[in-house]
Structure formats: C-alpha cells, structure tokens
Chains A and B, each alone.
Chain A
Amino acid sequence: MQSLETAAPRRDPAPSRWAFRLHRLWLTPLFRGLMRVGLPVFALVFGLGWVFSVPENRDLVAEQIAELRRSIAERPEFMVKLMAIDGASAELAEDIREVLPIDFPRSSFDLELEALQEVVEELDAVAAADLRIRPGGILQVDVTERIPAVVWRIAGQLEMLDAVGRRVAPLAHRSDRADLPLIAGEGGDVAVPEALDLIVAAAPMAGRVRGLVRMGNRRWDVVLDRDQRILLPETGAVAALERVIALDHAQGLLARDLSVVDLRNAARPTLRMAPQALEELRRIKALERGDALQ
C-alpha cells in the first residue's frame, strides 16, 4: 500500500475535487447565465443606485452634464449673432425686433424657433413667418405681410383690414389710404369678403360710392354721395345691388332726388324721396287735380 502521508506528487494532472466541482458548476447553464449576465447587471445597478443615493453625487453629475452641454452649445459654430428680417416693411421689421426678446449673440441650442415663430405670427400685420438659422450664425426671419384691403371705421378709429377681415394696422387719416374702400359699422370686419364683392359690383358707380355701412351686424347699406343710401338685404346683397345699378342705368334712378332705395324686401322694393322732391310731387299732383286753380 502507498504511504498515507505521501509527499505531494510533482505535478498531478488530475483536478482536485473542488476544482472538478467548480468546473462542473461553471458548465451549468443557469449558473453560467447568472454569472455572465446576472452578476454584472446586479453590480452595475447596485453601484449606480448607491452612487446616486447621495444627493451631492446627483448634483455633481447634473452639474457636469449641464457644464458639458454648455461647453458644446457655446462653441462659436453654434452661436447666432444677428437677425435678418426679409419681406417686412420697415415698421413691421421694427415691431418684430421689438417682440422677439433675443439678445445676441446667443447659442442656437437655446433658441426655440417654433415658439419664436408663434410670437411673430401673433403680430397683426404678419400673415406667415418662417424662422430658420442660416449658416454663419444668422437668425433668418422670412415674413409674409398681410395686405390691407379695406379701411374700417369703428368707434371713431380707422383700422385697415385685409381681404379676410383680419386687422392689419391702425390708420391715422382716411386720406393716408384713400385708395382703399371704406366700411363702417359693428361686425364689419367679419363681413369683409362680402363687402369686397359689393364694392366690385358697385364699380359702375364707383365715383358715387362713399362707403359701406354694416347695419345691425346683419346687412350692408351702400352710402352714396348726396345722402343717398341703398339698403341691401341680408342675403343676395350683390344681386340686389346689381338690380339697382341696372335700374339706374335704364332709368337714371339714382340721378333723381331720392334719399333711400330700400331693397330689403325683394318682393317690395321701396323708394324714399327727399323732402323737397316730395313737396314738389305733391304740388304737381295738386296742379293736375286743378286744386291750385281754384
């Protein structure tokens, strides 16, 4: 028999029992998965959780991130140095510069173009605005202005409105934009498209039209010179006006001494004559009856 206390062999190729067991354990799929995935994930999660459980560490990390972001955002390539406004008149450009509260130079990371675009489009005179940052650090503002179509007199003030009735700008004197037709009355801005149609229809007597008045927020009156008025119905106003113009053309209706042509009820057009004309009419009628001879 071998001696029990044998000296260790020079090199035993056999694994020890524990080495053998550990090797088998390592070959166990579950254990292996746990070691290769579970343990690193656990260590990572645990470590991060431990680090972030201290408020100073959280602040430090947040600060570092903010610092990093700032250092990138403030690189000269990302700085916006000036603003260019295209498509706007001088006053509008001035207004835009006023409403956009940006002090240049500023990093493009801090510019929220959509918010700025909303601010610009809130201006009355701006129909649409397009903001972008041009290479070279320029904030490019492309503006489409609203085009005034009528002058609206309301509560003693003059406003310019565009073709859909949106306010464009106030107006100091009517004579400043004598080329634009005048409308008046409450609710006139809402009915601007109809008013424009009426003005087009009234082109044959354009020289006589002083303006349109919105009555009771329902219908239009056409005001002519010599204190004449054409009262138009709520619906079919353009047709009614064309009818009056046709009558005028055929019989010189408006050249006569009328004060009102009332077409509010299409079935019963009514004329109101001026007081002197009425007197005259009555006198002539009396003459015809021979009253004056008696």
Chain B
Amino acid sequence: MTDLYDTQRAMRNMRKAALQRGVIAILDVGTSKIACLVLRFDGPERYRETDGVGSLAGQSSFRVIGAATTRSRGVRLGEIDAMNETERAIRTAVQAAQKMANVRVDHVIACFSGAKPRSYGLDGMIELHDSTVTEQDVARVMAACDVPDFGEGREVLHAQPVNFALDHRSGLGDPRGQIGNRLACDMHLLTIDRDVVQNLLYAIKRCDMELAGIASSAYASGISSLVEDEQELGAACIDMGGGATGISVFIKKHMIYADSVRLGGDHVTQDISKGLQVSLGTAERIKTFYGGVVATGMDDREMIEIGGDTGDWEHDRRTVSRAELIGIMRPRVEEILEEVRERLDGAGFEHLPSQQIVLTGGASQIPGLDGLAPKILGNQVRLGRPLRVQGLPQAATGAAFASCVGLSLFAAHPQDEWWDFEMPIERYPARSLRRAIKWFKDNW
C-alpha cells in the first residue's frame, strides 16, 4: 500500500511541476486511435474566484495548443499487444502534437480503456480523538477502510473518497471542522491489471517522457461527457471505443463505479469483414459510410459496392444491400449494449435517483443507435459529446475524443484521491523524524 501511495504521490508532484512549467501532454491510448493533446496552462491567477464562474465553468484555465491523432498500432482491447508498434504510434502522435504546439512536452497524463478495471466500495470508521474532525482524522478514516483482497497482480488506479458520515449524518462532502464522535468514510477503489499498466508506463518511458498521472478512460469520458447535474444526480457514461466499452457511474460528482466490456467497434468491423468476406480496411470503410442499426424499407434498395481486388470480376463486383449490412451490425451492437446493461444491473444502477445514460465514444456515432439503445438500456439515454475546451481543433471535438477532453479536465482539476491526503501519523515508522515534528506541531 505504502509503495503505491508513494508512486501516486510522485505522479501528483510531477503534475504540479508540469503545471508550473505550464505545458502538459494528454495521451489517450486507444484501440483504434492514439490521440495526443498539448495543453498550456496560464496559471490560476487569470481566473480568480472573485471573477465568478469563468467561461466553461472555470475550466478555461488551460488551452489546447497542439492536437494530433494517429491510427493505433499494436493495441488490442485497450491493452498494449505489441510494445514496439505502440511506442511508434505514441511517438507519431506526440511528435505531431509537439510540432503543432511548437513546444517540447516532458510530462504526460495517460489514459487507457483496457486492463480489466474492477470497482470496490470500501468503508471505514473511526472514533474521533476530540470532537472536531481534523485533516489527520480524514487521513485516519481513509486508512481505516478495510481493503479487500483484490488479488495478486492488481494495482489501484483510483481511490477516491466519495462520502463521509459523521455520527448519523451522511453525505458530507467535507467533514473537516465539524463536530462529532464517529467519522465514517466510503471510498471507491478501482483496480486494474498491473502488467497492462506497466507496459504502458514502459512505452511512455521509452518515448523520453515522464508520466504525471494516469486515469481510466471510462472515468475521463464521464468527466467530459456528463453535464454537471447528471454528475450530481446520478448517471452512467458508456464510452464505446474501438476495442473496449467503458462504463462509469457518477453520483454527487464522484465516480462510484467503473467497468469495461471487452467489446467495441472493432468487433463490429470484424463481423462485417467475416460476414461480407471483405478485408478489415474495406469493412471499416463500409461501416463508417453506410453503417446503421435500424433498417428501413429504403435500405433494402440501397446497394453498396463492397469491391475487392482479387481480379475475379464476379468477386470484385459484389454488392450488398444496406439492410444486409445492418443485419450484420445490429446483433453485435445489441450484444455490446446488453453486456453493458448486465454490468449496470450488477452494479445496482437501478437504485440511483436518476438513471441517465450517456453514450459517447467513437462507436456511439453509428446512425440509429439512439433508437436502439433505449430498448436495451432504458429510456433515459442520450448521445453525448465532450465539453468544448478552448483551442481544441474542430476535428477533435467529436464523441471519439471524449476521454481526451476528459483527461484534460482531469489534468486541470483532479479529484481528491486517497494519496492527496497526508499519511496518518500511526503509519509513520516509530523513529521517524516526521513523527517527532508532527508530535511537536500537535502539542505546542
């Protein structure tokens, strides 16, 4: 635990250093594309608290000065499959973004969708020493959360306190300074496969950059695609990516659940490729141009040239109707959505006060998805696009960039995580100098 605490703290310090320097890179390692944004921070003094809420709800303290996207290579199901290929793709994206920004970037915040995220709800409770809650008490109660055995080879990615309760009052955002006897805390813990994240770290390190933070892409998409009251009242963000579909559930502006379905747009492409006997590239093109999930009578008459370059005239002149294409795509999309539904049900999504579901990500752009999704997920479904941030090129404002934009917001205003609080004094070694200083501070 302490080891992880230290590495995460180190990343937080790196992020601080990057903000001081004013430039940070955002890297979204996805299955179908790798996107890199370069952000420039103007410093907090430009938009003070007294100015009221600034433009974009105060998120405009940064500006995107470089953006680049490249086709992903060597990534499968949101996980790195071929290290060298991925490294090359990351280099391509980073170099292009740097070139556009005309500035060198040393710190990078990354997100990825794979690595089998698993959510745990933790709770802890302590008796307060004196009746007022201090910062030390908050640290103690978080340390008192009993961590489940999440297994060998797993790593904690996010550990966010989502709720505090003091005696019988629950739902406190910030218990510090309040009077009570017992302090309880609920924490959301997200674990991932260690190997996957280590591969990613290694790939980024091979690009001579330092990691200043890491996040789950489902979480990042949720930050950017859910509007403020959805985050407050309870909503789920479904980030339909290329190789994996991320799910994140928010309430009271905290993520309380995240999961990932290892199915995505690439599987739809594979189905088309297999079903129509065409290459993956052609299948992707056909899906992008003619894809859909709801067939109408008109679609029976719309014929699509699927082509081929075998030299056999009959083979190369094949056509399919759009209805046939939809017939191939729809079951797979339904499967994805049903899988999502299953995960949401397992997480108890139906108990939330508001059950808004927001679909985002590249695969959410399939025409007709807004008709299909309510049949499976319930009727509060909308398609989401990420928040507009300053300086983002038009090409990068689509739903496919939700996690990029969310990660930018995450870089500017990270949520408090467990490692942002001080370590409780009991955890220090007995002869530590800091313990002595702490004792002096508390007693004098």
Contacts and interface: CB of A to CB of B under 8 A. Distances in A.
Interface of A: 2, 12-15, 17, 19-21, 23-24, 27-29
Secondary structure call for the B interface = helix
Nearest to A25: B104
A20 B99 contact: no
Contact of A14 (B92, B102, B104): B92
Contacts of A27: 98, 102-104
A24 B91 contact: no
Contacts of B70: 13
A23 B98 contact: yes
B104 A28 contact: yes
Interface in B73-120: 82, 88-89, 91-92, 94-95, 98-99, 102-104
Interface in B179-217: 206-208
Contacts, number: 32
Nearest to B103: A27
A20 B95 contact: yes
B193 to A, nearest CB: 21
6 contacts: A14-B92, A15-B95, A20-B94, A20-B207, A23-B98, A28-B104
Given A2-B82, A23-B99, A24-B98, A12 B104 contact: no
A13 B92 contact: yes
A194 to B, nearest CB: 84
Which of the listed residues B88, B94, B99 has the most CB atoms from chain A within 10 Å of its own CB?
A: B88
A117 B206 CA distance: 81
A2 B89 CA distance: 17
Interface in B142-190: none
A22 to B, nearest CB: 10
Given A14-B89, A19-B95, A29-B104, 4 more contacts: A15-B91, A20-B95, A23-B95, A24-B104
A29 B23 CA distance: 13
Given A20-B207, A23-B98, A24-B98, A14 B88 contact: yes
A50 B2 CA distance: 63
A204 B287 CA distance: 134
Nearest to B98: A27
Q: Which 6 A-B pairs have the closest CB atoms?
A: A14-B88, A27-B104, A14-B92, A20-B91, A15-B95, A24-B104
Contacts of B92: 13-15
A282 B104 CA distance: 128
Contacts of A14: 88-89, 91-92
Contacts of A12: 88
A27 B97 CA distance: 12
A2 B104 CA distance: 33
A230 B248 CA distance: 132
A17 B103 contact: no
Contacts of B89: 14
Nearest to B82: A2
Nearest to B207: A20
A37 B207 CA distance: 29
A21 B104 contact: no
Nearest to A13: B92
A161 B95 CA distance: 94
Contacts of B82: 2
B64 to A, nearest CB: 17
Nearest to B73: A14
